[in-house]
């Protein structure tokens, strides 16, 4: 992507873009061994958390870079999250001798699949949002990685090994519930407010009104799969915690195949939006397949709280969407950049407040639940 879109950065030269490309690998090579040695002394999770934070910081800096020197610095920081060796060590800690080889082979295969997906989706993302959009997505994935690596997977493994199945199921239910609490309103909000947000962020210079419309529609199509992207990560951990690494990989391969098929079927009638829809549909297939197998194996059993809360979260998200739609009539989108930023801030703030109020009105959660979340006792 840097070879194709690197010319958008100030002071760019072929040499400096090459430095930006190699900066990630350089910092990876420098820090892999020190991080591995440090994880032996203070533990795997703290180093994984540190590495992901560094990676997220680098992604945010690279996403906001306007010149090639800022890009190089961001890429160097991204590579500073050198935790692949630590993750392999954690895998060794969590798996038995019999399943360790298969687990490591699965991680290797997943890297190959991720590369294939990135080669397909990366140009799409860069086309409508620039290289910065790719870095923003990697930052979001880093946040998801923090949640999974520091909370869900180690805890599930611990409870399953100890035979505490009810506690493992409870934690998984709460993790899914929490993920939907965030991703359902986020998806609805991006679908409703995606176009004006894109207009505010990008519509200037060569980026025209038509480009804003096309990008906004594509963002809305991607957003349809937002809950599924996160659910796949959460549901996979139940298999990993039980040392079943083959099943998530097989489903992921099937999802990639479905994605390619849908690309061919949808690109004709829907053009570039069809590619985004294909990605969202493949993500939902992946999540649905994982969830179905977990239910069949009784590795996932929804408790009464889950059955009550999730439909109400969906209802609250739709009510928030209606409010966001209404805000656009109450406060029309202005023409000046500064005013646009203020109005979008009011829309997003109003949407957040309306979501909290709607969730409370429909009984999705009570104020005491929010207080528990803020004090980090939600999953205890």
3-state secondary structure 311-343: HHHHHHHHHHHHHHHHHHHHCCCCCCHHHHHHH
- CA–CA separation, 222 and 275 (whole Å): 9
* Residue 262: inside a domain: yes
pLDDT for 65-90, tens place per residue?
778 788 788 878 877 776 666 666 66
| Angstrom distances, CA of residue 375 to CA of 168, 286, 379 | 21, 33, 11
3-state DSSP of the chain: CHHHHHHHCECCCHHHHHHHHHHHHHHHHHHHHHHHHHHHHHCHHHHHHHHHHHHHHHHHHHHCCCEHHHHHHHHHHHHCCCCHHHHHHHHHHHCCHHHHHHHHHHHHHHHHHHHHHHHHHHHHHHHHHHHHHHHHHHHHHHHHHHHHHHHHHHHHHHHHHCCCHHHHHHHHHHHHHHHHHHHHHHHHHHHHHHHHHHHHHHCCCCCCHHHHHHHHHHHHHHHCCHHHHHHHHHHHHHHHHCCCCHHHHHHHHHHHHHHHHHHHHHHHHHCHHHHHHHHHHHHHHHHHHHHHHHHHCCCCCCCHHHHHHHHHHHHHHHHHHHHHHHHHHHCCCCCCHHHHHHHHHHHHHHHHHHHHHHHHHHCCCCHHHHHHHHCCCCCC
Beta-carbon count within 10 A of 298 CB: 9
* Residue 172: inside a domain: yes
pLDDT at residue number 33: 74
* Residue 318: inside a domain: yes
Burial class of 1 by CB neighbour count within 10 A (0 to 12, 13 to 18, 19+):
middle
pLDDT at residue number 85: 66
- CA–CA separation, 45 and 94 (whole Å): 12
pLDDT over threshold 50, residue 3: no
Average pLDDT value for residue range 105-133:
51
Average pLDDT value for residue range 252-281:
85
pLDDT over threshold 70, residue 169: yes
Q: How many Cα atoms occupy the beta-carbon half-sphere of 278 within 13 Å?
A: 24
* 370 or 50, which is more confident: 50
Question: What dihedral angle (degrees, nearest 10) is formed by the CA atoms of 42, 45, 48, 54?
Answer: -80
* Residue 349: inside a domain: yes
Average pLDDT value for residue range 193-200:
80
pLDDT at residue number 112: 47
Q: What is the mean pLDDT of the chain?
A: 75
pLDDT over threshold 90, residue 293: yes
pLDDT tier for residue 371 given thresholds of 50, 70 and 90: low
* Residue 165: inside a domain: yes
pLDDT at residue number 276: 81
pLDDT over threshold 90, residue 7: no
Question: Cβ distance 212 to 333 under 8 Å?
Answer: no
* Residue 153: inside a domain: yes
* Residue 298: inside a domain: yes
* Residue 346: inside a domain: yes
pLDDT at residue number 56: 78
* Domain range enclosing 119: 95-374
pLDDT for 210-231, tens place per residue?
777 777 788 788 888 888 887 8
User: How many domains does the chain fold into?
Assistant: 1
Q: Quick one: angle between helices 246-270 and 272-296, nearest 10?
A: 150
Question: Cβ distance 135 to 62 under 8 Å?
Answer: yes
Among 150, 148, 134, 118, residue whose Cα is nearest residue 74: 134
């Amino acid at each position: 992507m840097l070879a194709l879109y690197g010319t958008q950065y100030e002071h760019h030269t072929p040499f400096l873009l090459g430095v930006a490309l190699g900066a990630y690998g350089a910092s990876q090579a420098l820090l892999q061994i020190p991080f591995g040695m440090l994880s032996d002394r203070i533990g795997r999770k703290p180093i994984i958390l540190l590495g992901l934070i560094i990676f997220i910081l680098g992604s945010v800096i690279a996403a906001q870079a306007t010149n090639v020197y800022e890009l190089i610095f961001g890429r160097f920081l991204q590579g500073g999250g050198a935790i692949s060796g630590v993750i392999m060590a954690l895998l060794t800690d969590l798996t038995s001798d019999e399943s360790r080889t298969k687990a490591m082979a699965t991680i290797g295969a997943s890297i190959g699949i991720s590369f294939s997906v990135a080669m397909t989706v990366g140009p799409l993302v860069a086309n409508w949002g620039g290289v910065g959009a790719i870095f923003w997505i990697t930052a979001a994935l880093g946040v998801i990685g923090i949640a999974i690596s520091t909370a869900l997977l180690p805890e599930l493994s611990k409870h399953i090994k100890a035979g505490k199945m009810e506690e493992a199921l409870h934690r998984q239910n709460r993790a899914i519930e929490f993920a939907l609490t965030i991703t359902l309103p986020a998806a609805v909000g991006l679908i409703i407010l995606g176009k004006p947000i894109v207009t505010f962020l990008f519509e200037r210079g060569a980026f025209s009104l038509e480009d804003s419309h096309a990008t906004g529609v594509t963002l809305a199509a991607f957003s349809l799969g937002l809950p599924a992207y996160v659910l796949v990560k959460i549901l996979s951990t139940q298999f990993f915690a039980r040392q079943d690494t083959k099943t998530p990989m097989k489903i992921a391969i099937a999802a990639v195949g479905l994605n390619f098929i849908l690309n061919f079927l949808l690109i004709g009638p829907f053009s570039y939006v069809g590619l985004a829809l294909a990605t969202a549909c493949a993500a939902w297939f992946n999540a649905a397949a994982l969830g179905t197998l977990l239910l069949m194996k009784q590795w996932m059993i929804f408790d009464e709280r889950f059955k009550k809360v999730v439909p109400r979260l969906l209802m609250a998200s739709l009510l928030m969407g209606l409010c966001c739609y209404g805000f656009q009539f109450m406060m029309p989108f202005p023409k000046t950049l500064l005013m646009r930023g203020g109005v979008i801030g009011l829309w997003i703030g109003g949407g957040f407040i309306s979501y909290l109020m709607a969730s409370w009105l429909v009984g999705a959660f009570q104020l005491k639940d929010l207080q528990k979340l803020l004090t980090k006792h939600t999953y205890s």
